[in-house]
Amino acid sequence: MKPTSVSNRQSTLLRKLNKKKYRHKEKLFLIEGDRAVQQVITNSAISVRALFFDENQQYWRDERWAEAAQQVDVSVMDEALFAEVSDTDNPQGVLAICEMPQETTITDLQSQKGIILALDALQDPGNLGTIIRTASWFGATGILSGKGTVDLFNPKVVRATAGATGSVPHLNGNLSALLKELQKEGWPVFMLDTGEGAESLSDIASVDKAIIVVGNEAHGIQADLQAVPLRRIRIAPPQKNVQVESLNAAIATSIALYELTATLK
């Protein structure tokens, strides 16, 4: 392959795509790193628009990229520009511009079964990416993303999904409104809580569908969600004295996904 040098238009686009506003305006996002880009190339859920390499690393000469290069534009850029558009401290020298998958609709979600995650002001990109990865593993029906939740297509989130970006239907919106629409169709809403008054996760009887609400790492759920009727559930520790205040948000969500997926009728 003979890649061309990156154009000014492309380098401007790459810089812009590090910002949420432009990602959603252009309906494009970035994926970085050898393994992640290889995964997205072989992943039917996401279309790759263009590939970029750091020219000094001669990385693009690797024959693993040959097939992809026949289907999308490939450009090279110098190390300084690569470092500038990269979101990582140690860029691996390859990144892809990808097309953002379309959002699902509330009507589509209403008609389904399974588990939906509702993320309320979840702020840590690593936690969000890990939750998307776990949701993909357990075949979750959808992910609702409320106000204050980090962008699902943020580069750090995308990295933490380990290839799961786009594999779970997602919908951004006002969480309390979305939850009410789903409740109309019989979806029960559970909220992860650390309080002792909550029901134990392991006591939840078999369900055919369920929503798990995940609150902010430090502050729990926001005020407007407190008006939504929901059941508080808790991952109860077996012993009386627990030194740590809570589980990590991604861990608690994943355990709840595991347990409720297993109870699905």
Q: What is the DSSP letter of 204?
A: P
The alpha-carbon radius of gyration of the chain (Å, integer) is 20
Q: Which residue number, 3 or 220, has a Cβ lying nearer to a second copy?
A: 220
What residues contact 83, with CB distance under 8 A and at least 6 apart?
91
Spatial neighbors of 111 by CB under 8 A, at least 6 apart, are: 185
For the bound state, the minimum distance from the C-beta of residue 228 to a second copy, rounded and expressed in Å, comes to 27
Q: Which is nearer to a second copy, 77 or 132 (CB)?
A: 132
Comparing CA positions, the residue from 66, 144, 142, 50 lying closest to residue 99 is 50
Minimum CB separation from a second copy for residue 154, in Å? Answer: 17
CB of 243 to a second copy, least distance (A): 4
Query: What is the rounded distance in angstroms from the CA atom of residue 217 to the CA atom of residue 4?
Result: 45
Positions touching a second copy (CB under 8 A) are 39, 43, 45, 126, 130, 133-134, 136-139, 160-164, 167, 202, 235, 237-239, 242-248, 250-251, 254-255, 258-259, 261-262, 264
Q: How far is the CB of 191 from a second copy (least distance, A)?
A: 18
Tell me the closest approach of the beta carbon of residue 88 to a second copy, in angstroms: 14
3-state secondary structure 99-167: ECCCCCCHHHHHCCCEEEEEECCCCCHHHHHHHHHHHHHCCCCEEEECCCCCCCCCHHHHHHCCCCCCC
Which of residues 27 and 35 has its CB atom nearest to a second copy in the complex? 35
- C-alpha 86/C-alpha 69 separation (Å) is 20
Closest distance of CB 197 from a second copy, Å = 18
H or E segment and range at residue 74: strand 73-77
Q: For residues 57 and 246, which CB has a smaller minimum distance to a second copy in the complex? A: 246
CB of 158 to a second copy, least distance (A): 13
- Which residue, 118 or 131, has its beta carbon nearer to a second copy? 131
Break the chain down into helix, strand, coil percent, rounded to 5: 40, 20, 40
Residue written as token pair 């910002």: 19
Nearer to a second copy, 179 or 192 (CB): 192
Closest CA to 154 of 169, 167, 143, 165: 165
- Which of 85/132 has CB closer to a second copy? 132
Q: Indicate the residue among 92 and 136 with the shorter CB distance to a second copy.
A: 136
Compute the least distance from the CB of residue 167 to a second copy, in Å. Answer: 4
